[in-house]
Amino acid sequence: MKAIVLREFGGIEKLVLGDVPKPEPGEGEVLLRIKAAGVNPVDFKIRKGLLFERGYPHQFPIIPGWDMAGIVEARGYGAKRFQAGDHVYGYCRRPVIARGTYSEFISIPESYITHKPRNVSFEIAAAIPLAALTAYQSVYVAAGLEKRQSLLVIGASGGVGSFAVQFGRIAGAKVMAVASEKNHAYVKSLGAKYAVDYAAGDFRQGVRKIFPNGADVVLDCAGGDSLLKAYDCVKKGGHLVTIVEKENETLAQGRQIYAHYVFVEPDVTQLDQIRKWVEARKLTVKVFFSFSLPEVHRAHLQIETGHTQGKIVLRIS
């Protein structure tokens, strides 16, 4: 089968399209024909070896990619949840990073996948799992966002941020988005009531004009200087969630807030709820770029800019 293979860390030239053995489904696993795979910032961090500096195990050769939508081809012993031909999607990160979704086929435990939304294409479905689960676990699980609370999303026009803004709207929260001015119409179309341009100055000033005491929940999708500023945007007793780098407990305690670092975990129950929202048209997904598998270098160049509106996907088959 065709797959993108990484045999050592480095630049985009290390991503090589090649032939690798087609996997066989093991006990409790299903073999999937991948139709499309999501491209996420974590993918270029894996390519560069940055993720493994934090202690995540890996095994070369690596096939990158954790998002997918596809079709069930075969079932291993004991796998009974799906039938051949079922259309599914899922977040496919295994404990050891080795066999991912930039490939024509993948064998994965059936507990990692669920039925894809019926009203969207495979490309749209492949853009959902990692980013939507990250936003869900950040906004709802870690921070416990509730109706009539305030939510600030920093990096709101990207993959995770786009879902987080919509989850805030679904929860009945008052949502403010931090994004470039060119993306303000987009984030407001998703449900943000207010938008602040991070390039126009210190976004903390804009936040304080609307939320004088800070927001109940702040989700930072950018890291670095934006994360440091984010601590000043949370009201006392509120929650700060970071998805890029670890939380600073000293800063959090000094400001009397709760800080959480979320590294997304597979959860098909949450994916089922997300599917229902997509099918009910309460949740929309924007694919900004769609590339073929041989165009993986272009996909990585784009995701590494950090300025992608919505999502990027690879068309596999």
Q: Which of 133, 27, 40, 125 is nearest to 80 (CA)?
A: 27
Rounded to the nearest angstrom, the gap between the alpha carbon of residue 308 and the centroid of all alpha carbons in its chain is 13
Q: How do the pLDDT tens digits run along the chain, 317 residues long?
A: 999 999 999 999 999 999 999 999 999 999 999 999 999 999 999 999 998 766 789 999 999 999 999 999 999 999 999 999 999 999 999 999 999 999 999 999 999 999 999 999 999 999 999 999 999 999 999 999 999 999 999 999 999 999 999 999 999 999 999 999 999 999 999 999 999 998 888 999 999 999 999 999 999 999 999 999 999 999 999 999 999 999 999 999 999 999 999 999 999 999 999 999 999 999 999 999 999 999 999 999 999 998 888 899 999 98
Token duo for residue 244: 């890029």
Instruction: Give φ, ψ of 284 to 5 degrees.
Output: -115, 155
Contacts of 176 (CB under 8 A, 6+ apart): 150, 151, 152, 153, 192, 193, 194, 195, 196, 207, 210, 211, 215
CA dihedral 235, 236, 241, 246 (to 10 degrees): 130
Which alpha helices (DSSP H) does 137-222 contain, by range?
159-171, 184-190, 203-210
Domains and CATH numbers, the chain: 2-128+285-315 (3.90.180.10), 134-261 (3.90.180.10)
pLDDT score recorded for residue 19: 97
29-39 and 105-109 strand pairing = antiparallel
